[in-house]
Amino acid sequence: MVVMGRRPSFGVVLLATHGWSKEGHILTSRIAQGLLEPEAAAAVANLLSDYANGDLSSLCVWADQIQKWYRYRWTSPLHFIDTPAGACSGLSLSAGRKGRVLPVQSKTLPHNFCSSGRDLWIVSPMHVGFTSDEGGNTIALRWFRHKSNLDHVWDREIILTALKDYYENNLDTLQEDLVGNFTDGIWHDDVASWEQCDDLLQCSNKYATESITIACKWGYNGIKYGQTLAEEYFYSKMPILMKRIAQGGVRLAMILNKVLGGSEEGFTAAT
């Protein structure tokens, strides 16, 4: 185990023996904004409302907030992808698939560039979970001493526990560790493969397939309704979850750079 102060290296399983929450969205957006090329950064700044003060992350919880409004109740299914129970491979998105999140070109919702390429939702493994248990929402359990469910454990509980135990609840310090791990640390050699993307739909399929594989192998595996998850689950799943957040930030930046930057590379649009 590599430790910076009291903080773990997320590329290592700490014991031998996961759509994000607010914190996950903020981390993903901050990482992405820090990786924007000048033209893309200027375009994002121009698109942001004045009250955002140039901070992309300040608006990237909007989708979670508006789904509770009557006008935007229809957006709730856009936060997940329906996967048949036990379908742990061969996942494929299509235009008619229920729960398919919006493509980057969509003008249906405000601030949609925050969730370009669907990264903020489908890199969260349980948001590609099984329809039969609503992506882990109906799998009630306990996280240490309080009630929770499997989806919430992956969306927020692991992040909050890591913040409390290793970062004194300082999101900036956690972000620094994540960025350090892919700039010159344990994930550095993986970044090129994370950024490989020429077609939005193919990339979405890739990200969703990664997530359902993680959900099956690490999220659902061995879980029983009503059980208590604690240290062993936390330490073994935290590195996986943190890597997904970092991947989401890198990929969101890549997409925004292609869409809003000066690159002629661009995308083949999803149809």
Say if residue 49's pLDDT is above 90.
Answer: no
Give me the number of domains the chain comprises: 1
pLDDT tens-digit series, residues 239-253: 999 999 999 999 999
The residue that leads in pLDDT, 90 or 57, is: 57
Provide the CATH number for the domain around residue 91: 1.10.575.10
Average pLDDT of span 226-243? 97
Q: So what's the pLDDT on residue 269? A: 55
Say if residue 12's pLDDT is above 80.
Answer: no
The helix, strand and coil proportions of the chain, stated in percent and rounded to the nearest 5, come to 55, 5, 35
Strands 140-143 and 146-149: antiparallel
In angstroms, the CA 203 to CA 167 distance is 33
The residue that leads in pLDDT, 194 or 17, is: 194
Give residue 223's domain range: 3-260
Say if residue 106's pLDDT is above 60.
Answer: no
In angstroms, the CA 197 to CA 186 distance is 22
Q: So what's the pLDDT on residue 104? A: 37
> Does a structural domain hold residue 265?
no
> Does a structural domain hold residue 269?
no
- Percentage above 70 pLDDT, the chain: 77
Are the C-beta atoms of 110 and 230 separated by less than 8 Å? Answer: no
Classify residue 102 by its DSSP letter.
Answer: P
Are the C-beta atoms of 23 and 178 separated by less than 8 Å? Answer: no
The CB density around residue 152, as the number of other CB atoms within 10 Å, is: 19
- 228 strand-pairing partners: 142
> Does a structural domain hold residue 252?
yes
Are the C-beta atoms of 101 and 115 separated by less than 8 Å? Answer: yes
> Does a structural domain hold residue 184?
yes
Say if residue 210's pLDDT is above 90.
Answer: yes
Residues 6+ apart with CB under 8 A from 64: 19, 22, 25, 79
Say if residue 123's pLDDT is above 80.
Answer: no
> Does a structural domain hold residue 172?
yes
- Percentage above 90 pLDDT, the chain: 54
In angstroms, the CA 244 to CA 72 distance is 28
pLDDT tens-digit series, residues 134-189: 999 999 999 999 999 999 999 999 999 999 999 999 999 999 999 999 999 999 99
Average pLDDT for the chain: 81
- Any idea what the Cα angle at residue 181 is, between residues 179 and 187, rounded to 5°? 120
- Closest C-alpha among 127, 124, 42, 118 to residue 83: 127
Are the C-beta atoms of 10 and 141 separated by less than 8 Å? Answer: no
Strands 140-143 and 228-229: parallel
| Confidence tier at 264 by pLDDT (50, 70, 90) | low
Transcribe 42-70 into DSSP letters. Answer: HHHHHHS-GGGTT-GGGGTTHHHHHTTSG
> Does a structural domain hold residue 267?
no
> Does a structural domain hold residue 101?
yes
Q: So what's the pLDDT on residue 103? A: 39
Say if residue 1's pLDDT is above 80.
Answer: no
Classify residue 140 by its DSSP letter.
Answer: E
The residue that leads in pLDDT, 119 or 2, is: 119
- Closest C-alpha among 215, 230, 61 to residue 148: 230
Say if residue 197's pLDDT is above 50.
Answer: yes
Say if residue 32's pLDDT is above 60.
Answer: yes
Q: So what's the pLDDT on residue 30? A: 97
- Closest C-alpha among 123, 131, 122, 126 to residue 154: 126
> Does a structural domain hold residue 256?
yes
